[in-house]
A and B are shown apart, each in its own frame.
Chain A
Amino acid sequence: MKRFLPFLLSIVLLAGCTPQKSADQPAQVQFFAMDTLMSIRVYNEGGEDAVQAARQEVERLDKLLSRTDADSAISALNSHAGDGTMVSLEPEVTQLLAFAKSVSQLLPGDFDITIAPVMDAWGFTTEERHVPSEEALSAAMELVDSSLLTVDETASAARLEQAGMEVDLGAVAKGFTAAQAEAVLREQGATSALLDLGGNVTAIGSKLDGSAWQVAVKDPQDTGEALCVLSLIDQTASTSGGYERYFEENGVTYHHIIDPKTGYPADSGLQSVTVISSNHMLADALSTALFVAGPEEALEFWRSRDDFELVLCTEDNRVIVTEGLEAGYRPAGEDRGYTYEIARR
């Protein structure tokens, strides 16, 4: 019997060796807000409260910034367009409006939050998408001019100078929301978290083991595949591309990123732009603006600043990655015909 004792013991000990559970499951929530799908994941232990608090913050901002919610601050601003009233707004709303105006000034003609009437003319807001008539489009284009949006940050008020003008914060709201949600998460003690606000990914801290988050950039031609994979810590990656919201009419594809100069979908030689920045709001706004601007202007703008990096996917399947991303990035689409190059200052 004694010689079987070690054997029996080994069985007892081995019984404890069940397969290890998959990596620590984060506290998480997925929900619809700001006309997109959002998810919040917190990897710190006991992150449930932080997740719920961040979700409430997102939903609060959605109510404040939505153009389709008649009770929102933005609807109040829009409804007074042209009547001379300075509309009192929450300080965070005036701050966001002032930021959006500053992007319009940095990249003239590439970005304008008063593009809303044109988006409506194309049916990209709520109704069926369609090519607008020339008359409808030119009437809508008359109303696009963010220099006619007056913002008084001191008084926390704003005014649209012309009747019919409308502001839509779709190109900046998610980045702003990411920053606010991050602040809430950190207040709640979260140090390792991921926000996915409709494809704008904000990496908060690093993974629990200290390594960088691995964030894939979608292949614009095959959205189930990755174009490349980035390593992010405390940064947002925001992508704009014509591939996600579009429609076809008479064999022509029209996407939803409208060039404020023409009123038509931007046709600047890019399939997608991903902006990586520790300034979440900047990443969001620039992804739209630089998609409209095109590859040359985008790189020129990048060379003039040091607060963001870029992944540009051009129409001829070149992927241009700026040098600040070089260390942590890997290409993933060579077998699908993409070529990769590093842009240097």
Chain B
Amino acid sequence: MRSPAAERRRPTPWDAVVALAVVAFAVVLIFLLRPTQGSAVTAVITLDGETVAQYRLDQLDQPETLTLNEAPYPLTIAIEPGRICIDHSECPSQDCVHTGWISRSGQQIICLPNRLVISLSGSEAEEFDAVTG
């Protein structure tokens, strides 16, 4: 059985509707399949291996502070839209405070005396596999 469509020479309005639907659907798909927002950055704070807090830095509207009195050397963490730092620490070395702000996926702040790590991860591919220093 031959399709009636095969005998026609000119496209009908229905063909146009199908074509338009395909185009419209493609546009919708491009939108839907887009990777999630480019600059998602999540800060995970762990104390001796346990996660104690987590922040989406890109979704933060206003600065926050987090005080961890349960740490061996109590410390205060400052969290701002897009960045995070250890503002104050009672630890003897102060290396963690010296690190300053971090803002990019793959960066870390380490407080050795507290066994505390703040790690940033995100949707953007990290530029390197590892960092020496």
Contacts and interface: CB of A to CB of B under 8 A. Distances in A.
B67 interface: no
A30 B51 CA distance: 12
Interface string A136-179: 00000000000000000000000000000000000000000000
B133 A223 contact: yes
Nearest to B48: A32
Nearest to B123: A22
Interface stretch (B55-63, B74-82, B124-132): B124-132
A65 to B, nearest CB: 17
Interface stretch (A2-10, A73-81, A183-191, A258-266): A2-10
A97 B22 CA distance: 72
B117 interface: yes
A30 to B, nearest CB: 7
Contacts of A19: 33-35
Nearest to A35: B112
Interface string A211-232: 0011111101001101001000
Interface string B90-102: 0011110011111
B131 A218 contact: yes
Contacts of B104: 224
A239 B22 CA distance: 57
A4 B34 CA distance: 26
Most B-side CB within 10 Å, residue of A3, A11, A18, A36 = A3
B27 interface: no
Interface residues of A, number: 50
A245 B92 contact: no
A199 B131 contact: yes
A215 B132 CA distance: 7
Interface string B3-28: 10100000000110010011001000
Given A3-B14, A30-B117, A201 B22 contact: no
21 contacts: A3-B14, A11-B25, A17-B33, A18-B33, A19-B34, A31-B49, A36-B112, A37-B108, A128-B92, A129-B92, A196-B130, A199-B133, A201-B131, A201-B132, A213-B130, A223-B99, A229-B128, A241-B133, A244-B95, A245-B95, A274-B133
Interface of A: 2-4, 7, 10-11, 14, 17-19, 22-23, 30-32, 35-37, 123, 127-129, 194, 196, 199-201, 203, 207, 213-218, 220, 223-224, 226, 229, 237-239, 241, 244-247, 272, 274
Top 3 A-B pairs ranked by shortest CB distance? Answer: A218-B133, A216-B128, A237-B132
